[in-house]
A and B are shown apart, each in its own frame.
Chain A
Amino acid sequence: MDLNYTPEQIAFRHEVRDWLQANVPATPLKSFDTAEGFEQHRQWEQTLAKGNWGMVTWPKEYGGRGCNLIEWLIFEEEYYRAQAPLRVNQNGIFLLGPTLMEYGTPEQKERFITRMASGEEMWAQGWSEPGAGSDMAAIRSKAIREGDEYVLNGQKVWSTRAVFADWVFCIFRTDPDSERHHGLSFVLVPLDAPGVTVRPIPQLNGLPGFAEIFFDDVRVPVANRLGDEGQGWNIAMATAGFERGLMLRSPARFQETAKRLVALYRAHANDILDLSVEDAVVKSFMDAEAYALSTYQTASRLMKGGKIGSEASVNKIFWSELDQHMHETAMRILANNAELLPDAKAETEIEADTGNWMDGFLFAQSGPIYAGTNEIQRNIIAERLLGMPRK
């Protein structure tokens, strides 16, 4: 064990910090769940790509930097410290990208990874269906093969970023007689294909952060299938592994929130009546540190050849409930001002930040639900990590 950064790691931190300082937009971008904001964020992805900071952990051959996981953590720490824009193409870069590298054909890698890396094409995710949420194996949308094409019919829901994105990666039933996790395939679909209808769904903040997608006789080439026919479930599980595993929520994001929370608490310390708020602030800070420590531990282990296991579920529960707790604490500090949305006329930084906390609070409500509800994660922990009986 050596908890010192190497001189190279410290130099890397400064390189990241300097680049971000020079390039992060001075005024915050509009939300990427607006048409204007989405394009601003696409531009930012392209700026990142030009600086070669778009996908630091990707291998160099795919346009990445080949960073190891410790360097990734350092990059993320600097990224959130600089308050750089959220990553609009997260679905692509962190979920589909690694899956393509593992399962894609050379042609698919050439076609899709390149434009993902350059920040040209933005990706949405299409797994859930009205009847297939936590029970994802209940998927009914079909992809029926006709010659060199699949004909897609069905409906996806809760597709994050689908309103403005260019492509969606989906799971369809390619074997109509199959059941459960058999007979599924992983298919990449352009969202402007004839027969695709995207119906935006406004989220808690009123913006269309996700959508329903309807497929009516949509035709895509068989070459858009990732992996073998019938292998969709395994590929989706590998993708979900990346999602819940390490990369979906880097600790720096929560450490930055914890830091802001401490500042908020200090600014309001004299008007807080609720004595337990103090405890909640300390707990928030400790838990954000604990999440960082745990991630460093996992990263170190993986770098020595270890594999990621059920800790993915433990992580997902921890960060999502931490995020909720931090924002609940902020609401308690802000008290009767908590309900106020961002105020353009705010005079102090703390005043201006008030509305941001509500925005974060709303988003924090989704954490325990998406990427596998925390109830499902708890079942996974009990059964797979602890060995409790399934039935």
Chain B
Amino acid sequence: MDFTFSDDQLVFCDNVKQFLQNEVTPERLRSGWDTETGREDNLWQQMVELGLTAMLVPEQFGGLGMSELDFVLLAQECGRVALAEPLVETALVATPLLACQAERDARCATLLEKIATGERRIAVGHAVNPTVSDAHVADYLLMPSGNEFHLVERERVKLIPMQSVDPSRRLFKVEWRPEEETRLVNGAPGVSAMAATLNRGALGTAAQLIGLAEAMVDMTVQYTSDRTQFGRAIGSNQALKHHMANCAVKTEFAKPALYRAAYTVSQRPVHADFAVSHAKVAAGEAALLAAKNSIQSHGAMGYTWECNLHIWMKRAWALDKFWGHSGFHKNRLHQWLMNPNAKIGADKTFGEQG
């Protein structure tokens, strides 16, 4: 029993954090709002060079063969800088889905190699999401149809852009038709691919929500330390301190739930539903509270377009509902808990053992 990340995992995360904080500035995010794609090829290439798109690609396809657990801290950092590029969905959601099919489908093997080298990008649709994000910069879309996943070239679908409150997000309704040749997986394997994809999507979103929550608290602590009224920093007032302390408590107790979910998804995926739903609900609550208490602590400034806070708030509001909103995940938790045969108790926190 060891519930810590390895030194390698922590050091790699630190490097990626440094890179993201240097490159992904609020100014750069804002400049993306006015471009056609809202995405930057050179930033993507930099991430490819760092090996980020290759992390979960199996070694035989030119990747690093790492797991969801290795990636979860990085997803947190993507949230911290409010990264617009679809790194988390590519590396953590699309890649493992393709990897599961790669043994018996040559298309997947080829795609995986090209994801690792940055030559191809994939977007993922799922029944829990009404739109597909970043479909416009994808070469292929992984689309659900009942219990089947289809691999569809972007040229063969019609994308209808939908505007998000978050100007960095690019969302699309997709008009397409499933065909024999586009089918990737169906039947029982299709059902489990659908479930596993949902869990990975929710895991990646939960991780970003934690990063967003911490970033909002950091910028609010900074702002309330600098801003003075009545001759002193407003952050010296207990009311504002308690706003931020409440955020810290929420975030601190969402993190271990996130890490259990990441471990479970990578090691015991059959038992992942409960762990993932817990993480998604807890991370969503942490991010929503951080948004609410941060704008309040910023005062009128927080209500402006000019103040950077809204970049993070809007992402939090959006991601809290993506890959399963809280109602969806709480229902999964509830159904599991109310099952008379549910194995619950302190000795089963990490599943039934011995």
Contacts and interface: CB of A to CB of B under 8 A. Distances in A.
A and B: interacting chains: yes
A292 B244 CA distance: 23
B19 interface: no
Contacts of B263: 1, 3
Given A301-B4, A386-B244, A296 B249 contact: no
Contacts of A10: 353-354
Contacts of A1: 2-6, 69, 259, 263
Contacts of A111: none
A256 B217 CA distance: 33
Contacts of A14: 354
A281 B338 CA distance: 10
Q: Give the residue among A7, A266, A382 with the most B Cβ atoms within 10 A.
A: A382
A389 B223 CA distance: 11
Nearest to B218: A386
A259 B345 contact: yes
Interface in A1-60: 1-7, 9-10, 13-14
A385 B245 CA distance: 9
Interface stretch (B76-84, B170-178, B197-205, B228-236): B228-236
Interface in A348-391: 375, 377-379, 381-383, 385-391
Given A2-B2, A293-B3, A296-B3, A386 B354 contact: no
B154 interface: no
B350 interface: yes
Interface stretch (B21-29, B36-44, B119-127, B250-258): B250-258
B346 interface: yes
Interface string A121-156: 000000000000000000000000000000000000
Contacts of A279: 330
Contact of A296 (B6, B256, B354): B256
Contacts of A266: 338, 340
Nearest to A286: B278
A294 to B, nearest CB: 5
A13 B282 contact: no
Contacts of A4: 1, 350, 353
B281 A286 contact: yes
A196 interface: no
B338 to A, nearest CB: 6
B101 interface: no
Contact of A388 (B236, B260, B278, B350): B236
Interface stretch (A76-84, A86-94, A236-244): A76-84
Interface in A272-323: 278-279, 281-282, 285-287, 289-294, 296-297, 299-301, 303-304, 311, 314, 317-318
A269 interface: yes
Contacts of B5: 1
Contacts of B333: 282, 285-286
B330 A282 contact: yes
Question: For chain A, what secondary structure do more than half of its interface residues adopt (helix, strand, loop), or is it mixed?
Answer: helix
A297 B4 contact: yes
B150 to A, nearest CB: 35
Contacts of B257: 286, 289-290, 293
Contact of B354 (A5, A292, A314, A317): A5
Contacts of B4: 1, 297, 300-301, 304
Contacts of A377: 245
Interface in B232-279: 232-233, 235-236, 238, 240-242, 244-246, 248-249, 252-257, 259-260, 263-264, 267, 278
B306 interface: no
Contacts of A77: 345-347
Contacts of A99: none
B6 A252 contact: no
B8 to A, nearest CB: 12
A331 interface: no
B253 A292 contact: no
B221 interface: yes
Contacts of A329: none
Contacts of A78: 347
Nearest to B236: A389
Contact of A318 (B249, B338, B340): B249
Contact of B338 (A9, A269, A385): A269
Q: Give the residue among A5, A290, A301 with the most B Cβ atoms within 10 A.
A: A290
B2 A290 contact: no
A338 interface: no
B344 interface: yes
Nearest first, the 10 A-B pairs at minimum CB distance are: A10-B354, A382-B241, A293-B256, A255-B346, A378-B245, A77-B346, A381-B245, A252-B346, A300-B3, A290-B253
Given A5-B353, A300-B2, 20 more contacts: A1-B263, A3-B1, A255-B349, A278-B334, A282-B337, A285-B337, A287-B253, A290-B278, A290-B282, A293-B3, A294-B253, A300-B4, A318-B249, A379-B242, A381-B244, A388-B235, A388-B236, A388-B240, A389-B235, A391-B236
Interface of A: 1-7, 9-10, 13-14, 70, 74, 76-78, 80-81, 251-252, 255-256, 258-259, 262, 265-266, 269, 278-279, 281-282, 285-287, 289-294, 296-297, 299-301, 303-304, 311, 314, 317-318, 375, 377-379, 381-383, 385-391
Interface of B: 1-6, 69, 217, 221, 224-225, 232-233, 235-236, 238, 240-242, 244-246, 248-249, 252-257, 259-260, 263-264, 267, 278, 281-282, 330, 333-334, 337-338, 340, 344-347, 349-350, 353-354
